[in-house]
Amino acid sequence: RNAIIFSPHPRAKEATNKAADIVLQAAIAAGAPKDLIGWIDQPSVELSNALMHHPDINLILATGGPGMVKAAYSSGKPAIGVGAGNTPVVIDETADIKRAVASILMSKTFDNGVICASEQSVVVVDSVYDAVRERFAKCGAVILNKKERKAVGGVLLKNGALNAAIVGQSAATIAEIAGIFVPENSKVLIGEVSATDASEPFAHEKLSPTLAMYRAKDFADAVDKAEQLVAMGGIGHTSCLYTDQDNQPERVAYFGQMMKTARILINTPASQGGIGDLYNFKLAPSLTLGCGSWGGNSISENVGPKHLINKKTVAKRAENMLWHKLPKSIYFRRGS
């Protein structure tokens, strides 16, 4: 019992299966059966579907695109699926700009932006927009000009969906694919845009070191833009706010109320913050992040061991005694 079989993404099969083998060898050394952990050497859609429908499979944990998650939920087996992220970040005029920019760049360059909680758009209040823009440029981000932005935007999507060729690639590689030049050590490509709907390539989930940057009139407008971005492609997943959290509790509360996301991060790099435990202790450490009913998922938490086990409860008969202390003497009046 408690066996697991991994069906990795074809482009990540070597790393995934190597990690599974490391865990298997450690488990065997600790006394586990040799076949407790398994994996598919040459994964495919057909093999994944066959695995999900196998009679010995009791639970499916699906991390991937909407098609695969839908297939898991349609398999007839209990399934836990997770949704897409399109994390917006709001930076208001009270935020520590240096910390905000450093955190975003650290998060967005972690694994070249493949973490689904990573920042996809930055929405900046007008009064500090130029300062934030300048700080990004100073710290290694490339602010694309109009021609460059159009070129990069042209390779972000393919047939209306995320272009797999850019996923996890470096900023320089993506620029090369787009036919433009940026320094090899460039950290992130930033496109300054205004549209928050599906017509704007930069408004989508990009899973790469690319960012959209929006100018907002004020805090309320920034939150409104963030709401639109979440609704367009990342509902239920993650959102982030940089503000003076000690002196702006009402803004933290307002942001939390308005965002339809299961993870609402304050002054936190979204990748490391969303996966839990590193920058906060309210989120369980996990790379599988549920989006709840908003995102068509069965859970809205970070998926962990507790979601994968069956619990037994033994309940013995017992009297539900209710006690209260009475005074030493009790007197009753006539007719009481």
Of the pLDDT bands very low, low, confident and very high (cuts 50, 70, 90), residue 336 is: low
Q: Where in the sequence numbering do the catalytic residues fall?
A: 116
Supply the pLDDT for residue 335: 66
In sequence order, the β-bridge partners of residue 36 are: none
Mean pLDDT, residues 3-32 taken together: 96
Q: What is the mean pLDDT of residues 50-75?
A: 91
| Predicted confidence (pLDDT) per residue in 274-305, tens digit | 999 889 888 999 999 999 999 999 999 999 99
Which phi and psi (to 5°) does residue 114 adopt?
-80, -15
**Residue 230: predicted pLDDT:** 98
Query: In the structure encoding, which two tokens stand for residue 277, read together?
Result: 């435990």
Looking at this protein, which amino acid is placed at residue 170? S
pLDDT value, residue 272:
96
> What are the residues whose beta carbons fall under 8 Å from the beta carbon of 254, sequence distance 6 or more?
223
Checking DSSP bridges between strand 161-162 and strand 157-158, what pairing results, if any? antiparallel
Average pLDDT of the residues in 52-79:
91
Q: What is the amino acid identity at position 237?
A: H
End-to-end Cα, the chain, rounded Å: 65
Which residue has tokens 């369980």? 284
CA distances from 67 to 82, 148, 166 (A): 11, 32, 20
Nearest to 117 by CA among 251, 292, 269: 269
pTM: 0.90
Inform me whether the pLDDT recorded for 39 exceeds 70: yes
The angle subtended at Cα 231 by Cα 68 and Cα 238, nearest 5°, is 75
The whole-angstrom separation of Cα 267 and Cα 95 is: 8
Domains of the chain listed by start with CATH number:
4-83+300-307 (no CATH), 87-287 (3.40.309.10)
